[in-house]
């Protein structure tokens, strides 16, 4: 594979920011693990070999009767009876953590929340669910939420800011007034009101947040476009006959990139923090879903069980710091004046 | 006579991009009381760094190493502590900077800025302020006191800077390129003023400039600097009449070659009738004021013949650049423009696009006119992608290679970025970008003003060669009569949007009719 010299330069710049580079490596490992959360923390086996056939219970629902049991419901692989049935005619491999985010451990020796043991490495929460499993799933959801929200709001923000800044005049005037009104709407109240009559899912939350978060980039991009449209090289390109669209994307947008990329890590960490705080308040994702915010609120409710609050705190702070460090390194990589 | 300031073996190195730069190499010079010493050199020769070191204004970072000494009144300025330095800066030694636009604080009025350098007992001394302003030749000084920098012209700002510098009767005034940002006629006035003040107050003047021409009349002695080294130091007359060092000779002889060839055919390529450019003064959305326009170009008509060069001369604000931008529709204009007998002024952007490849423009500042984020290859080939969509990638690359050799660069440079090039090389790239479309008319908007003297003549050389080879027509805009003289066939002198004089080159230079043209010619240093 060959890269253009520009890409090579950017990669070099990126790598020269040591903190950002290692943050990326660590984050990639964590994210990769959490993507395959179902194979790492689950109450179903990764792999079942039964009657000379291979099954993946993670993807298919297999009833207990299939293994020769009594119930027609899905097999409970934690049940010693089911395990015996499978071991008679084959074998199965369980994931390293034998709990999913909603698996309740009924065999606890102490009342939940129970402290860390070999079985539940980070203990269980107040409903007897494994904390580590919930952290892995919660990490995945918040990263997905943050990334999607950041990408979508950047796209909208850059487009809106670009059009306003590049054309200026009346478009800019009306756009600015609209934003002034729009930014006056109280987002949190809106979310609370909406969540009182519909149960907010991942996508509904994302949509509502998106309606408002695009404005944080719009201002910077608009300013950069206003400035850059009078640059001599933009004029020179215009004199060459380059069309407006291409002018905007090829010549003006790169100027706005550094400003955009400077803000992006903060938007990313901001949106993760917002989701967490909504979950903490109970207006976020539906009950039962694995979320870091919910774990923080459990930690607050159960101060006698510090493993809850500490795990959530460490995960969140690690996640947010890593993302900000990566964002800084990306910004360095796109800075043309940065010298290696 | 005892010398006022002695610089002995000044050596300065600093680290930049993890490379050690030796900015000043073992330089020594002396300034006597009342004398004017000029330091001449191209950009990057270390002349400004020398001046900043004398004032101890150079930013100290850990990798900055200065050795040698600067003796003033038996003390080494390089070893003084900050509290003693304050007593010297602005009182004994003061400085004027190049850019009058940025060296005055935009938030304070003139009085406040001037009184800032007074002794505390004189802080509210208004009459001293007025006297200073009178001294530096500012009209109506009483009213000016309450004005802010943006209400003054460039020349006036530089005068205010000078007033601030001489407020405490300094022994030495360091002027770092004091006239580079100014028009020719004003340049002359400022230099005359500096000379007058020097004689009246018997102060010494250290004049730093890249322009050997202005040094001739004003300075007693000249130091020529090249890459941090003083290569020649002598009396002004001797330097000009018997230069020793080859570099000095090169500087003195770096006058651009003059255009010799001429075009036989007389086919009109561009004809302009009643061209006017208006700028809106205030943009109010609801209430439109009438007559709130500033007319930058006033009803101009002229013609250009194919293969000729039309030189447009004028001071800043005379509307030269507005004409250029109006011709290629970067600003809206009134009147009609005929390109090869086709009216192009009424066409919309879509219909005008095919004409863009015939009329190209090259801007003044090669640092601003190249996108810092594109490679040279992308910059040069951009026009091809607009106008010759049918060309394959390989053809485009071959063409860019061809054109970059035409402008005197090497095609291994194509994959690099603009910031890796010097000003002259960048201007060549800008020329290549315009040239690759095979234009018939090229508008050059002060293409050499941002460049060093020797580089200027190289660019003029290149432009002349290209004109001869490709039968190009140029509109050459400049405030520098020397360059205009070298390139043009006809010259148009402009003042506040009007044509003052429009004549053949020879007539303008031998028998200028208009008063303004005469003044312009007088203040130019050839």
Answer whether A242 sits within 8 Å of B375, measured CB to CB. no
Pairing of strands B3-16, B36-40: unpaired
pLDDT at A1 over 60: no
**Residue with token string 């931008």:** B325
Answer whether A251 sits within 8 Å of B285, measured CB to CB. no
Which residue of B lies nearest to A241 if distances are taken between CA atoms?
B353
Percent residues over pLDDT 90 in chain A = 11
Which residue of B lies nearest to A240 if distances are taken between CA atoms?
B383
**Residue with token string 């910059």:** B379
Residue A148: the pLDDT is 92
**Residue with token string 């951009």:** B382
Contact residues, B window 312-351, toward A, CB-based 8 Å cutoff: 325, 328, 330
List pLDDT tens digits, range B367-394. Answer: 788 888 788 888 888 888 888 888 888 8
Pairing of strands B334-339, B342-343: antiparallel
Is the minimum CB–CB distance between B372 and chain A shorter than 8 Å? yes
Residue A320 tokens read as 């947010």
What angle, rounded to 10 degrees, do the helices at B423-435 and B393-406 form? 130
Provide, as residue numbers in chain A, all residues whose Cβ is less than 8 Å from the Cβ of B368. Answer: 231-233
Average pLDDT, chain B: 84
Residue B333 tokens read as 């204009």
> Hey, is A162 helix, strand or coil?
helix
Provide, as residue numbers in chain B, all residues whose Cβ is less than 8 Å from the Cβ of A242. Answer: 382, 386
Residue B287: the pLDDT is 55
> Hey, is A131 helix, strand or coil?
helix
Answer whether B382 sits within 8 Å of A242, measured CB to CB. yes
Q: Which of A232, A237, A238 is the closest to B365 by Cβ? A: A232
DSSP-assigned letter for residue B288 = P
List pLDDT tens digits, range A217-244. Answer: 888 899 988 888 888 888 888 888 888 8
**Residue with token string 């001293």:** B128
How far does A242 lie from chain B, in Å, by closest CA?
6
Answer whether B363 sits within 8 Å of A232, measured CB to CB. yes
- B406 Cβ contact list (under 8 Å, min separation 6): B432, B435, B466
Mean pLDDT by 10 residues, chain B (526 residues): 83 77 87 90 82 81 80 86 84 85 85 82 81 86 86 84 88 87 80 89 89 83 88 87 86 75 75 84 55 78 88 83 86 85 83 87 84 84 85 86 85 81 85 88 85 82 87 88 85 87 85 85 73
Provide, as residue numbers in chain B, all residues whose Cβ is less than 8 Å from the Cβ of A231. Answer: 368
Which residue of A lies nearest to B387 if distances are taken between CA atoms?
A241
Average pLDDT, chain A: 84
How far does B29 lie from chain A, in Å, by closest CA?
36
Q: Are B400 and B377 in contact (CB under 8 A)?
A: yes
pLDDT at A340 over 50: no
Residue A25: the pLDDT is 92
Answer whether A232 sits within 8 Å of B387, measured CB to CB. no
Residue B206: the pLDDT is 92
| Of residues B460, B525, B521, the one with CA closest to residue B256 | B460
Question: Which among A176, A241, A261, A337 is the top mutation candidate for probing chain B, defined by the most B β-carbons within 10 Å of its own β-carbon?
Answer: A241
Name the more confident of A322 and B455. A322
Its sign, for the CA torsion A69, A72, A75, A81, is negative
Answer whether A236 sits within 8 Å of B430, measured CB to CB. yes
Pairing of strands B441-445, B293-305: unpaired
Answer whether B374 sits within 8 Å of A237, measured CB to CB. no
- pTM (two decimals): 0.73
Residue A121: the pLDDT is 80
The whole-angstrom separation of Cα B36 and Cα B205 is 5
Answer whether A239 sits within 8 Å of B373, measured CB to CB. no
Answer whether A232 sits within 8 Å of B371, measured CB to CB. no
Question: Which among A168, A236, A254 is the top mutation candidate for probing chain B, defined by the most B β-carbons within 10 Å of its own β-carbon?
Answer: A236
| Of residues A276, A258, A257, A266, the one with CA closest to residue A325 | A266
Tell me the β-bridge partners of B304: B270
> Hey, is B299 helix, strand or coil?
strand
- A302 Cβ contact list (under 8 Å, min separation 6): A113, A126, A308
Answer whether B372 sits within 8 Å of A243, measured CB to CB. no
Q: Are B492 and B308 in contact (CB under 8 A)?
A: no
Answer whether B375 sits within 8 Å of A339, measured CB to CB. no
The whole-angstrom separation of Cα B179 and Cα B181 is 6
DSSP-assigned letter for residue B259 = P
Which residue of A lies nearest to B18 if distances are taken between CA atoms?
A340
Strands of the sheet with A90-93, listed across from one edge: A53-55, A47-50, A90-93
Provide, as residue numbers in chain B, all residues whose Cβ is less than 8 Å from the Cβ of A177. Answer: none
Contact residues, B window 380-439, toward A, CB-based 8 Å cutoff: 382-383, 386-387, 415, 417, 419, 430, 433, 437
Residue A2: the pLDDT is 58
């Amino acid at each position: 594979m060959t890269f253009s010299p520009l890409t090579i330069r950017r990669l070099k710049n990126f790598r020269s920011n040591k903190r950002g580079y290692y943050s990326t490596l660590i984050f990639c490992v964590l994210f990769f693990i959490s993507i395959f959360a179902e194979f790492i923390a689950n109450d179903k086996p990764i792999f079942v070999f039964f009657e000379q056939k291979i099954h993946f219970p993670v993807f298919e629902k297999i009833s207990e009767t299939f293994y020769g049991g009594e119930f027609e419901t899905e097999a409970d692989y934690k049940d010693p009876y089911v395990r015996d049935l499978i071991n008679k005619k084959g074998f199965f491999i369980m994931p390293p953590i034998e709990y999913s985010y909603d698996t309740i451990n009924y065999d606890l020796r102490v009342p939940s929340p129970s402290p860390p043991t070999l079985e539940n490495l980070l203990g269980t929460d107040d409903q007897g669910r494994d904390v580590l499993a919930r952290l892995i799933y919660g990490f995945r959801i918040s990263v997905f939420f943050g990334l999607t929200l950041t990408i979508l709001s950047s796209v909208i923000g850059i487009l809106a800011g670009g059009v306003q800044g590049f054309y200026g005049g009346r478009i800019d005037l009306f756009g600015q007034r609209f934003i002034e009104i729009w930014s006056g709407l109280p987002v949190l109240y809106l979310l609370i009101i909406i969540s009182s009559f519909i149960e907010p899912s991942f996508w509904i939350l994302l949509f509502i947040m998106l309606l408002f978060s695009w404005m944080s980039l719009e201002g910077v991009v608009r300013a950069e476009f206003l400035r850059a449209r009078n640059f001599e090289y933009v004029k020179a390109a215009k004199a060459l006959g380059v069309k407006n669209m291409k002018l905007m994307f090829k010549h003006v947008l790169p100027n706005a990139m550094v400003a955009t990329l400077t803000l992006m890590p903060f938007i990313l960490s901001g949106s993760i923090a917002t989701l967490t705080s909504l979950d903490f308040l109970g207006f976020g994702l539906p009950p039962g879903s694995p979320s870091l915010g919910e774990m923080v609120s459990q930690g607050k409710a159960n101060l006698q069980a510090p493993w809850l609050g500490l795990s959530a705190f460490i995960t969140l702070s690690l996640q947010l710091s890593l993302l900000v460090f990566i964002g800084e390194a990306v910004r360095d990589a796109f800075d043309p004046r940065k010298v290696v | 006579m005892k010398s006022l300031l002695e610089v002995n073996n000044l050596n300065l190195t600093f680290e930049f991009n993890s490379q050690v730069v030796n900015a000043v190499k073992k330089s020594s010079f002396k300034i006597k009381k009342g004398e004017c010493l000029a330091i001449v050199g191209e950009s990057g020769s270390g002349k400004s760094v020398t001046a900043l070191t004398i004032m101890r204004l150079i930013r100290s970072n850990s990798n900055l190493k200065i050795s040698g000494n600067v003796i003033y009144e038996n003390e080494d300025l390089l070893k003084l502590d900050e509290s003693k330095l304050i007593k010297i800066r602005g009182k004994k030694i003061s400085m004027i900077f190049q850019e009058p636009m940025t060296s005055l604080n935009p938030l304070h009025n003139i009085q406040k800025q001037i009184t800032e350098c007074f002794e505390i007992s004189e802080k509210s001394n208004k009459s001293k302020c007025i006297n200073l302003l009178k001294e530096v030749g500012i009209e109506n000084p009483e009213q000016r006191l309450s004005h802010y920098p943006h209400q003054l012209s460039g020349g006036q700002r530089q005068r205010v800077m000078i007033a601030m510098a001489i407020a405490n009767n300094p022994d030495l005034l360091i002027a770092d390129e004091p006239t580079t940002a100014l028009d020719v006629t004003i340049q002359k006035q400022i230099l005359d003023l500096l000379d007058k003040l020097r004689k009246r107050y018997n102060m010494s003047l250290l004049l730093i400039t890249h322009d050997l021409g202005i040094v001739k009349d004003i300075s007693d002695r000249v130091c020529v600097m090249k890459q941090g080294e003083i290569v020649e130091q002598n009396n002004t007359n001797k330097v000009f009449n018997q230069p020793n060092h080859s570099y000095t000779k090169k500087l003195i002889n770096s006058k651009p070659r003059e255009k010799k060839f001429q075009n036989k055919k007389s086919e009109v390529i561009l004809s302009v009738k009643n061209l006017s450019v208006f700028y809106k003064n205030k943009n109010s959305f609801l209430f439109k004021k009438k007559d709130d326009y500033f007319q930058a170009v006033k009803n101009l008509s002229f013609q250009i013949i194919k293969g000729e060069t039309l030189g447009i001369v004028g001071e800043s604000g005379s509307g030269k650049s507005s004409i250029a931008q109006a011709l290629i529709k970067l600003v809206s204009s009134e009147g009609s423009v005929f390109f090869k007998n086709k009216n192009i002024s009424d066409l919309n952007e879509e219909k005008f696009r095919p004409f863009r490849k015939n009329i190209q423009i090259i801007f003044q500042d090669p640092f601003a006119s190249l996108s810092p984020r594109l490679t040279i290859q992308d910059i040069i080939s951009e026009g091809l992608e607009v106008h010759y969509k049918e060309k394959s990638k390989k053809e485009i690359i071959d063409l860019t290679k061809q054109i970059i050799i035409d402008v005197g660069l090497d095609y291994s440079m194509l994959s690099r970025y603009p910031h890796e090039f010097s000003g002259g090389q960048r201007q060549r790239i800008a020329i290549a970008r315009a040239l690759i479309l095979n234009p018939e008319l090229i508008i050059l908007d002060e293409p050499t003003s941002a460049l060093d003297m020797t580089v200027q003549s190289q660019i003029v050389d290149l432009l002349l060669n290209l004109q001869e080879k490709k039968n190009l027509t140029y509109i050459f805009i400049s405030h520098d009569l020397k360059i205009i003289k070298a390139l043009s066939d006809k010259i148009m002198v402009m003042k506040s949007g009007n044509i003052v004089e429009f004549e053949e080159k020879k007539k303008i230079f031998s028998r200028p009719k208009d008063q303004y043209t005469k003044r312009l010619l007088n203040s130019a240093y050839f």
